Amino acid sequence: MTMSSDPFDLLGLDRASATEADVRRAYAERLKTTRPEDDRAGFMALRAAFEQARENVRWRTEYGEDDPYEDYEEEGAGAAEAAPAPAGDSDELTFAPEPEPDDEPGPQDTDEQTFETRIDRAMDRLVDLLTATGFEPDLKHLKACLDDNDVAGIDEFQTLQWRVRQLLCDRTGYNLDPQEIRRPVWLTLEVFDTLDQHFGWTHQPTTNPFLRRLNDWLSRVRTDIAWYAAPQEARKQALLKDMKSADKEERGSMAWLGAAGGIIGYALFQFFTRNAGG
């Protein structure tokens, strides 16, 4: 048997103090640089570390100690359970028969059946929290909604990452023709940054051109929101700075054109003078 890495070490967390939210954030941060299409083995190790660390934290929260059944050893491939040999036989081993398949759905089957229901329920809560009042939502409630146990798994995180990104792109004008940035009242800079820090869109490296366009759009939206969130005097000073910079560039261009025109004029004068003298 070979020992696998401690999941908390892999996630860069302290086993004694890490919370479930810490585990999710650490996983999301490392997911930005560990992509399944580039490093499948690394991605699977990261996913396994996330699941193990999360279960350990839940056990510690419930019982006040580490999970005594947690085992980081990887089982050897092809290992089989040997049954005692019948009396009178030689040293040959017989193997225990495989258990009969259970017709009853297991917990994993149930989870798969309810996955979409849980995602839909989480999205309904999130959309209601963001848009119901027409004002900025409470950030504590928003973070609690994002950290809810119903969407604590990796598949849930990735599905919500996609669906919330689609929601923001749609509400901010990505699907308009032509595109035009819109700023919903509820999408303040603090709300955007809370969502972006959780899902990591604007910092997410991707080779998928469609996802890159969506993430680039959200970066533009964030810049626009930050501009209008700044104090009026700060915006005024920024505009004046841009105008001065543009004026300097324009004057520099005109000076260059004037100098070039003078050189060309002098060359033409010399040309015609020489020809007239000849």
Write a three-state SS string for 32-95.
Answer: CCCCCCCCHHHHHHHHHHHHHHHHHHHHHHHHCCCCCCCCCEECCCCCCCEECCCCCCCCCCEE
3-state DSSP assignment of residue 8: helix
Whether 98 has a pLDDT exceeding 50, the answer reads no
For 137, phi then psi, to 5°, come to -70, 160
User: Could you give the maximum distance between any two Cα atoms of the chain, in Å?
Assistant: 129
Whether 104 has a pLDDT exceeding 70, the answer reads no
When pLDDT is cut at 50, 70 and 90, the band that residue 139 belongs to is very high
Q: Is residue 44 in a domain?
A: yes
Q: How far is CA 25 from CA 119, 147, 160, 173, 256, in A?
A: 19, 10, 14, 29, 54
CATH code (residue 24): 1.10.287.110
Q: Is residue 176 in a domain?
A: yes
When pLDDT is cut at 50, 70 and 90, the band that residue 191 belongs to is very high
pLDDT of residue 46: 82
When pLDDT is cut at 50, 70 and 90, the band that residue 264 belongs to is confident
Cα gap 122→39, rounded to integer Å:
30
Q: Comparing 89 with 158, which gets the higher pLDDT? A: 158
Q: Comparing 108 with 232, which gets the higher pLDDT? A: 232
**What are 209-259's pLDDT values in tens digits?**
898 999 999 999 999 999 999 887 876 776 677 676 665 666 666 666 666
Supply 31's token pair. 């997911």
Q: Where are the alpha helices (DSSP H) in 132-202?
A: 139-146, 154-171, 189-199
The verdict on pTM exceeding 0.85 is: no
pLDDT of residue 268: 64
Q: Is residue 78 in a domain?
A: no
pLDDT of residue 55: 84
Structurally, the chain folds into a number of domains equal to 2
Q: Comparing 69 with 174, which gets the higher pLDDT? A: 174
pLDDT of residue 218: 97
Supply 118's token pair. 């849980």
Residues 112 and 225 occupy one common structural domain:
yes
Supply 227's token pair. 């501009």
Its domain, for residue 31, covers: 2-69
128 contacts 141 by C-beta, under 8 angstroms? no
Q: Is residue 268 in a domain?
A: no
196 contacts 202 by C-beta, under 8 angstroms? yes
Average pLDDT of the chain is 77
Residues 149 and 219 occupy one common structural domain:
yes
Whether 41 has a pLDDT exceeding 80, the answer reads no
**What are 146-159's pLDDT values in tens digits?**
999 888 888 889 99
Q: Is residue 94 in a domain?
A: no
